[in-house]
Structure 1
């Protein structure tokens, strides 16, 4: 069960990372026309954001059916939508071949992927949560989140190896397609495993006791809207700052500062590799001292890290780049992400949990992770390549998420279904 859920998260972030990396390095000249390199990067990130816009819609659609029909079959559908979309991008002709149809088709593929990604997270986390011992929900759900750094590690390593071993210019011309096409192998394994997993025991019990509701979203809005709003705001920093450390940092270092892409990609590889090990540690810690304490602590750490992070990555030193990425991913993002799933999922009772968690995750991710590459690059361009305005963005979203998470008392324990929302609905 944990393997199936983690593989789904891996496929989701394989797509996310590969698309984000290629947007920063390649997609401008391949799919768009632009006089300045940063304009092409912005166009690629705008398409990246289109996929995020579809995620809340997908979350609500698949959340509804996941709460009505069960978690398992929905997760097979969402994995296929995400994975086949990634494969299709690898086959897509560029602007030089089909003109304006290239960016149009890219947007359509991203929309389909976004719908699938919107339904993926909630079901994967709930399968882990609803199978786990109550006292170890933080640990079990944090293991599912290992799929995120793994999904970053695999394509980043792929891109780094291709860029280092092929003749100069090959990656930009044609080799960028190889990681997209190779994703079909990961999808095949993931679908096979998911087809063999049985349905969530908590969902089965709720169905047998006739506790399911006809319109889960209406129930969430009627009884849990306060929790929904707070959790969306709490999500923004985790998702948004992850993309600052990854997408915005790559664009800043390579496009604006003219540094080689190899060192920063390698530093990111090391940082996310460290997070693979820190995620379950923070998840287990959240079982001991509480989800909110760990989550808020991670947000505060990232406030303190904001200026040092950009100073480190601007230094031109590989050692400084590596320290920055280990601190950002291993500690900053890892602490928030390790506690997040159990915190957010426990805000909602079983009959509406898929819908509620998906709405929290996908709306929060769209406002945070979807916007941060576009906003970050625009802020950098607005001040002539400087990162100072991006620091203000980091500080604001981290502060907002900290205050919002402080109100999520209902997510601390497993069965808080009878507790009223901390904020009036």
Structure 2
């Protein structure tokens, strides 16, 4: 019989699994906090701090362009971490990524302004943002594979959500810090040093890294692969010599469709948390809605509280009904809500804006909850870090980083959000089509089609 590898096939030590889930949630939340606090700062202050000589529109575009640099770097980080993560382990690469992210974020908070050192300031900003992107690109694969590969076959969807929940929780923490600093300081103090404090707070990553280093083992499935290598596995290495090359050569279709799964979620997410924060808070004379920035951030904060609960529920339900149904339903919600989102948001009524963001985040969470397990199950263990990371980070560079930029450019050109809604609906359609053309990967749902998932054994 052909040897198989199912994510979670190696039974985890139960008493340590709770520690792993907690460590995965905390590390993912802080990592995404570091990544997202940059987006909030880009929307609120970076045009004034690093591009003070440009017009409000061009300053905003340049600030969002530096935001996009992080997404351009993410596939590179995913490739590097994927290669070594498939060869030396998930845990070592996760630790390196956490260290790099924390260091870069802290240093951003220390940067001099353009008024102090001229054009060197934005150059340093872009360089540190690139390092953030590298770290973020490698971190996701490390944490979700540690979680899903250490879980039992019936709990992979649920376990994976502890990495996925880090996204809204990181956003929640970032917004809380920005609201706090923006609320207690006057505008001059906030622009001078208040915006820096959330970046300095990334120093809390240090004890998290030390805990993971000392207390968390690498995933049982990867350790099993290492044992196969030691035994030579009948002369054939279990660990791939060139995992990225093998993943692209044998599974390019899964990589492309895997990236497509994120199109609707990522575009809606970044339009909400960055694009609209800028558009809504700018004065009407500068092409915005003139809303209070803290009111907008408060709406983002509320949805960031609810979103993790939906993500967890969606992941758990996907263990019973499959990954695809949840993603397909979420994609339909995102397509249907693309136009009502702006109809409500542009009333400038805070309550209606909260409703607009809540419904959008519900659709995002339905697709995002099962995604960690779905991505892991698409690829066999020997190339899983490379394949899953590349798919996830391709969506980052193609959709996530450019979404606020596209929104700002469309509004500047058309003086309307109609085509922003068209863009969001189109991205939702891409997610729907990608889920439709991928096979189900949940073990319970594919027992009649074992080839759909690498490692699902054929019943005798």
User: For residue 393 of structure 1, what is the aligned residue in structure 2?
Assistant: 423
Out of 404-413 and 306-315, give the one that drifted further. 404-413
Alpha-carbon contact 2:377-2:453 (below 8 Å) kept: no
Q: 1:240 maps to what in 2?
A: 267
Question: Do 2:43 and 2:277's aligned partners in 1 also have CA atoms closer than 8 Å?
Answer: yes
Equivalent position of 2:310 in the other structure: 278
Aligned to 1:60: 79
Partner residue, 1:226:
253
Q: Which residue of 1 aligns with 2:13?
A: none
> Over the residues paired in the alignment, what is the CA RMSD in angstroms?
1.8
CA deviations 1:50-81 (Å, max 9, x no partner) are: 11111111111110100000111111100011
Offset of residue 205 of structure 1: 0.6
Alignment partner of 1:8 out of 18, 27, 48: 27
Instruction: Please identify the structure whose Cα radius of gyration is greater.
Output: 2
Between the aligned partners of 1:203 and 1:86, the Cα distance in structure 2 is 30
CA contact (8 A) 2:441 2:452 kept: no
Query: How many residues get paired?
Result: 419
CA distance in 1: counterparts of 2:32 and 2:342, whole angstroms? 24
Alpha-carbon distance, 1:410 to partner: 5.0
Counterpart in 2 of 1:161?
A: 180
Per the TM alignment, residue 115 of structure 1 is displaced from its structure 2 partner at its CA by: 1.1
Change (3 A) 1:367 1:421: farther
Aligned to 2:92: 73
- Is the 1:2–1:143 Cα contact (8 Å) retained in structure 2? yes
Task: Tell me, in whole angstroms, the C-alpha distance in 2 between the residues paired with 1:249 and 1:108.
Answer: 26
Work out the CA distance in 2 between the residues paired with 1:365 and 1:413: 28
Q: Which runs of structure 2 are paired with 1:47-196 in the superposition (5 Å)? A: 47-185=66-204, 187-195=205-213, 196=215
Q: State yes or no: 1:354 paired with 2:385.
A: yes
- Report 1:14-33 matches (<5 A): 14-33=33-52
1:321 aligned partner = 353
Contact kept, 8 Å, 1:10 with 1:147, in 2: the verdict is yes
- Contact 1:8 1:120 survives alignment (8 Å): no
**TM-score, normalising length: structure 1:** 0.95
User: How far off is 1:128 after superposition?
Assistant: 0.3
1:34 Cα deviation (Å)?
A: 4.4
Find runs of 4+ consecutive structure 1 residues off by over 6 angstroms.
414-418
Task: Tell me whether 1:45 sits opposite 2:64 in the alignment.
Answer: yes
Q: Is residue 404 of structure 1 aligned with residue 423 of structure 2?
A: no
Give the alignment of 1:295-306 within 5 angstroms.
Answer: 295-306=327-338
Whole-angstrom distance in 2 between the partners of 1:399 and 1:371: 18
Contact preservation (8 Å) 1:31, 1:102: yes
Structure 1 counterpart of 2:17: none
Contact 1:224 1:421 in 2 (8 A): no
Cross-structure match for 2:240: 213
2:374 match: 343
Q: Deviations over 1:88-141 (max 9, x none)?
A: 000000100000000110111111111111110001000000111111111110
Gaps of 5+ in 1: none
Question: In 2, distance between residues paired with 1:300 and 1:19?
Answer: 30
Do the aligned residues in 2 keep the contact of 1:376 with 1:390 (CA within 8 Å)? yes
Q: Contact conserved, 1:347 with 1:410, CA < 8 A, in 2? A: no
Q: Distance in 1 between the 2:308 and 2:425 partners?
A: 25
Mapped to 1, the partners of 2:132 and 2:187 lie a distance apart of: 31
Bigger fraction of residues in helix: 1
Shift of 1:418: 7.1
Cα deviation code 1:319-348 (max 9, x no counterpart): 11211222122x111111111111111100
- Give the Cα–Cα distance (whole angstroms) in 2 for the partners of residues 35 and 144 of structure 1: 39
Aligned 8 A contact 1:226 1:421 in 2: no
